[in-house]
Amino acid sequence: MLINMLIYIAIKEKGNPKKIFKMMKAYHKIKKYNLFDKSYYLEKYPNIAKSNIDPLDHYIYQGYNEKKNPSELFDGNYYLDKNEDVKKTKQNPLIHYVLHGKKEGRQPYGKDDLNITDDNLVKNKIFNGTSLNIGFIVTESLENPRAGDVFTALELGGELEKLNHNVTYIPRNEEYDGSDLDIIINLLHDYDISKIYLKNSCIKIAWMRNWFIKWINTPEIENYDLYLASSKTACDYLNEHLDDEVFLLPIATNIQRFSPKKKEKKYESDYCFTGNYWGCKRDIIKFLNPKSLPYTFKIYGIGWNNIAKFRKYIWDDEGFLDYKELPKVYSSTKVVIDDANHVTKPYGAINSRVFDAIANGTLVITNGVIGSEETFKGLLPSFNSKEELERLLNFYLSNEKERLNKIKELKNFVIKNHTYEIRSLNLLKIIKDNYSKVFEKQEKNAKIIKSQYDIIKNSGKFNENWYLNRYSEVKKMELDPILHYLKHGFKKGYNPSPGFNTKYYMKLYPDIKRSELNPFIHYITHGYKEYRLPKILTLKEQNRTINRLINENKKQIRLKNFSKDSPLVSIIILNRNGADHLKRLFSNFKENICYPNYEVIVVDNNSTDESIEVLNNLDIPITIIKNKKNESFSTGNNKAVNYCKGEFLLFLNNDIETTYGWLNIMMQTSVKNKHRGAVGAKLIYPYIKNKKFRSRSFKIQHAGVFFRELKNGFMEPYHYKRFIDPFNEKINKDYIISTVTGAVLLVKKSLFKEVDGFDENFDYGYEDVDFCIKLIKKGYCNVYSHGSLLFHHENETDTMMNSYLERSYRMMHNRAILSSKHDEWLLKKVMDNKLNKENVFTESRLNIIFLIKSEKDKFKLEKLVDYLNKYGWKTEIRDINTVDAYDINIWADVLISTVSNYYPNELLNSRKNLIKLALIIDNKDNWENSHGLHQYDSILTDKKSINENIISLEPEKFMSFLKNEILDIYR
């Protein structure tokens, strides 16, 4: 074969000795590095098989000119594109790479291929038995380490190196380019593996040896391809919480390092403990008192100076012992105490000291009872109390024969089952056996990345040059900037362009962080349309966003051509020291109103700023009412009505900023509603400078008002869908609603007078709510007009003029008035809406809780509950044996108890008007004798008789019966 190759090369190189030697050297290296894949080449280019030319010879002298690739591990086109100097020489890129490029650190293929199926480097290595590049994430560097994970990694890594694999140890605080790694194993629960740059095909392994609860609660837990745990119990626990299977890989020992050594006097003792104290509770502190035992004791480790009873037994002042000294310690003692801590003991995870000491020929006694049973099949002596520990120490330290027999038994068991040589083979077998699943997962992730890459690329919002110049390591490593951002950059807080701040966006909108979505992807696909802020906006950017929002609304509305004799609309504005508000309000007032017949009446409440001057300079039909004192919202507006000539009244806050067509649309909505009530507008927050509230910028402030009952019985008004995006489908349509805000409210003057206008007992709060309720009580209905869009600089005047105490007092005062006038009526209306799934007074569903105390009762109710949930009520069954029966959700409307010895009056968090019903399924005698029966609002029976069982009714009839029962109670 070699002779044939030599002859072929000699012919091709025309006998030139230098060229022949060069090509022979290249051939050798190509084969050494597995850079030519004959099967791949023939499959990819089937015509070559017909030519009877050796595939490698074809590529070397012909294929590369045809831009063919020799294997999946070398991309000639990529290599030439990235290396202009090679491209100019027109030489074979693979020949250059094996002779020069590899030593120079040039890349043989794109480091971040978007398609995982084109990157079989790791697969080939695993199944061909060639060297793998393996990395371990550890706590600290290998120079004087103290952390146990470092030694664990070193021992397993050492055995992998004996199998001809290349092993690297990566301290958690060091920057590392892992693009050459085939496998990375993380031993730290709080380390984000995405900090390391890895190729797509790198197998990411989480080796969970402790802190199992913390592992599953880390957001990065889903980023791994394989999961390993150090005990069976831990595997079982983790399998309940992870979607992927967790495989068993316990800690072990290195029998070359840990084998019997000569005793050293400085380490001699009858028994000892090796391990650090970090301030956590440990059994050894509770169970061991060396002073009470007639044996010599030594303790090795950091932190034990804090425990008084152990101080005299610490082997030196510091307590720290170099790892290399441990075999000498174990050889110089008879018994080692293993004190498994709280993060390993409940899960049966065995500490390395157990395996190491036993391999060294020393007996170990452990508090890890579960670990002894699982890992040592009960052979390892274990204790769970002070008495058991002392008994074991006394027994084995006074019976040398028993101790030596036990050591022999344990040592044989460890050598046979628990060495790192065995673990290295186990690890590679797990990887090999599960590679197809790993590949499947990687391929799925690669498709997601590909999809996200396309989204970003097509958006045009990612500035690649800016990113490369901003983050020099990306440019230095010749990485694709978009891919780097997707896989690593966003987690480091890198920005994709000057126009998007990753950290700011995630902080401003916590829902993004919770969802674990890439923030820039979210902004492109959702945030931009939802008018979320990509960064702190400049004034120019604020205006650009406002114009975008206004233009979007313009596209959606259709203005009506109202004639000049259309009904006169009197626009009433209340003002006090609001000159800046007035300037903003009237800046584009004439252009935006798009309605031909209106007048403006401004009630000025004794302003001391330039408000009057601003108003006098306006070129619109305006009447100014100058009050000598600051009158309330109700008084000022009622007074202004007397000056109005219009058929319609439009109450308008001075802190409103108008947009195109706002009044035209409101008048259209009123016409459609046949002027049968008040019309409200869509109000949006402007850009908010206050950091605390900035996330509200450009979100809905008002789209109608609903009611909910608080715990004390107050029917609280609240804004429907506040803080959602301005064109969300739920609020982007007209609908009848109980109440609209008085900030922008249109109504016929005749209706206003019919209900006696605004109630002047209110003081800047709930006047509009009360007014709208009065309209409904008279038979009218109120409408939200979605196409009328205005910005509301909400409460700026209020917070400027009044202290927190004044506002709090006012709120309590206004609540008391609203409650006394409407609570009872509103309660019935809200309940009626819930019963019939209507959305005028509330958006909430009827919330019912059934209380039971047996599986038998649950079985009887399941069909009914399923029916009620499908109907649209929120219904659940609670077993009083598994939950606190008296801690009921504050939003529950109806409590139905099947438990005779239940006392509703003892409920903790229920609302004042919670309906409490007794449902008697069986045990009628118990109910008749129950002291709690009189505490219910009603008994659910056909004839109000305790002997009638209504549960036998069909669900539809039961629901009808329940509706009538609830309505009877409210009547």
Model pLDDT for residues 546-562, shown as the tens digit of each residue: 999 999 999 999 999 99
pLDDT at 800 over 50: no
* Type and span of the H or E element at 64: none
pLDDT at 633 over 90: yes
Predicted pLDDT at 317: 57
Residues 548 and 540: their CA atoms lie apart, in Å, by 12
Asked if residue 486 lies in contact with residue 453, where contact means CB atoms within 8 angstroms, the answer is: yes
pLDDT-above-70 percentage for the chain: 94
Q: Is 813 helix (H, G, I), strand (E, B) or coil?
A: helix
Model pLDDT for residues 76-112, shown as the tens digit of each residue: 887 887 788 888 888 888 888 888 887 776 777 654 4
Q: How confident is the model at residue 804 (pLDDT cuts 50, 70, 90)?
A: confident
Residues 6+ apart with CB under 8 A from 887: 908, 909
Predicted pLDDT at 62: 82
Residue type, 446: A
Residues 915 and 903: their CA atoms lie apart, in Å, by 13
- Compare 687 and 145 and report the one with higher pLDDT: 687
Of the listed ranges 443-457, 768-782, 830-844, the least confidently predicted one is 443-457
Residue 199: closest CA among 132, 97, 113: 113
* Type and span of the H or E element at 652: strand 648-653
Predicted pLDDT at 946: 47
Model pLDDT for residues 807-834, shown as the tens digit of each residue: 788 899 999 999 999 999 999 999 999 9
CATH fold of 120-248: Rossmann fold (3.40.50)
Residue 705: closest CA among 745, 679, 678, 739: 739
Residues 512 and 532: their CA atoms lie apart, in Å, by 11
| Domain range annotation of the chain | 1-104, 120-248, 265-418, 437-526, 554-836, 847-970
- From the number of C-beta atoms within 10 Å of its C-beta (0-12, 13-18, 19+), residue 460 rates as exposed
Residue 860: closest CA among 877, 875, 846: 877
Predicted pLDDT at 15: 63
Half-sphere exposure of 660 (CA within 13 A, CB side): 15
How many whole angstroms from its chain centre is CA 895? 34
Predicted pLDDT at 646: 96
Of the listed ranges 27-36, 479-488, 713-722, 808-817, the least confidently predicted one is 27-36
CB atoms within 10 A of CB 170: 22
Per DSSP, the residues of 582-610 read HHHHTTTHHHHH--SSEEEEEEEES--SS
Across 210-224, 399-413, 466-480, 847-861, which has the greatest mean pLDDT? 399-413
Residues 6+ apart with CB under 8 A from 211: 189, 343
Predicted pLDDT at 272: 95
Predicted pLDDT at 797: 45
- Compare 663 and 68 and report the one with higher pLDDT: 663
Residues 635 and 655: their CA atoms lie apart, in Å, by 19
Q: How confident is the model at residue 17 (pLDDT cuts 50, 70, 90)?
A: confident
pLDDT at 925 over 80: no
CB atoms within 10 A of CB 123: 17
Q: How confident is the model at residue 9 (pLDDT cuts 50, 70, 90)?
A: low
Task: State mean pLDDT over 853-862.
Answer: 88
Asked if residue 136 lies in contact with residue 163, where contact means CB atoms within 8 angstroms, the answer is: no
- For helices 17-32 and 2-12, angle between their N-to-C axes, nearest 10 degrees: 130
Q: How confident is the model at residue 146 (pLDDT cuts 50, 70, 90)?
A: confident
Q: How confident is the model at residue 39 (pLDDT cuts 50, 70, 90)?
A: confident
Q: What is the DSSP letter of 418?
A: -
pLDDT at 3 over 80: no
Predicted pLDDT at 778: 96
Predicted pLDDT at 854: 87
Q: What is the DSSP letter of 970?
A: H
Two tokens, residue 574 = 């209340």
What is the signed CA dihedral for 242, 245, 248, 251, rounded to 10 degrees? -50
The listed CATH number (3.40.50.2300, 3.30.420.40, 3.40.50.880, 1.10.3720.10) that belongs to domain 847-970: 3.40.50.2300
Phi, psi angles (nearest 5°) of residue 337: -85, 130
Residue type, 525: T
Of the listed ranges 16-20, 620-624, 726-730, 786-790, the least confidently predicted one is 16-20
Predicted pLDDT at 323: 87
Half-sphere exposure of 463 (CA within 13 A, CB side): 14
Two tokens, residue 685 = 């927050």
- Compare 204 and 41 and report the one with higher pLDDT: 204
Residue 275: closest CA among 221, 202, 354: 354
Q: CA angle at residue 19 from 18 to 20, to 5 degrees? A: 90
Residues 443 and 448: their CA atoms lie apart, in Å, by 9
Q: How confident is the model at residue 16 (pLDDT cuts 50, 70, 90)?
A: confident
Phi, psi angles (nearest 5°) of residue 246: -105, 130
- Compare 953 and 142 and report the one with higher pLDDT: 142
Model pLDDT for residues 683-734, shown as the tens digit of each residue: 999 999 999 999 999 999 999 999 999 988 899 999 999 999 999 999 999 9
Model pLDDT for residues 348-406, shown as the tens digit of each residue: 999 999 999 999 999 999 999 999 999 999 999 999 999 999 999 999 999 999 999 99
Domains 265-418 and 554-836 share a fold: no
Domain 265-418 homologous superfamily, CATH: Glycogen Phosphorylase B; (3.40.50.2000)
Two tokens, residue 353 = 């000291």
Per-residue b/e over 848-884, b at no fewer than 16 CB within 10 Å?
bbbbbbeeebbebbeebbebbeeeebbbebbbbeeee
Residues 312 and 149: their CA atoms lie apart, in Å, by 29
Task: State mean pLDDT over 150-164.
Answer: 95
Q: What is the DSSP letter of 132?
A: P
* The pairing of beta strand 133-138 with beta strand 183-186: parallel
pLDDT at 32 over 80: no
What is the signed CA dihedral for 896, 902, 904, 906, rounded to 10 degrees? -150
- Report pTM: 0.73
pLDDT at 7 over 90: no
Residues 6+ apart with CB under 8 A from 376: 410, 413
Model pLDDT for residues 558-614, shown as the tens digit of each residue: 999 999 999 999 999 999 999 999 999 999 999 999 999 999 999 999 999 999 999
Per-residue b/e over 572-588, b at no fewer than 16 CB within 10 Å?
bbbbbbbbbbbebbbee
pLDDT at 118 over 50: no
The listed CATH number (3.40.50.2300, 3.20.10.10, 1.10.1760.20, 3.90.550.10) that belongs to domain 554-836: 3.90.550.10
How many whole angstroms from its chain centre is CA 199? 25
Task: Give CA separation, 572 vs 600, 624, 638, 785, 892, in Å.
Answer: 6, 10, 10, 19, 42
Task: State mean pLDDT over 881-897.
Answer: 87
Predicted pLDDT at 799: 46
Q: What value does the mean pLDDT of the chain take?
A: 89
Predicted pLDDT at 177: 80
Residues 6+ apart with CB under 8 A from 558: none
Residue type, 190: D
Asked if residue 170 lies in contact with residue 137, where contact means CB atoms within 8 angstroms, the answer is: yes
Task: State mean pLDDT over 278-283.
Answer: 85
* The pairing of beta strand 226-229 with beta strand 246-248: parallel
Residues 389 and 533: their CA atoms lie apart, in Å, by 63
Of the listed ranges 508-522, 602-616, 768-782, 946-960, the least confidently predicted one is 946-960
CB atoms within 10 A of CB 220: 19
Contacts made by residues 611-618, CB under 8 angstroms, sequence distance 24+: 611/575, 611/576, 611/577, 611/578, 611/579, 611/582, 613/579, 614/579, 614/582, 614/583, 614/586, 615/582, 618/586, 618/589
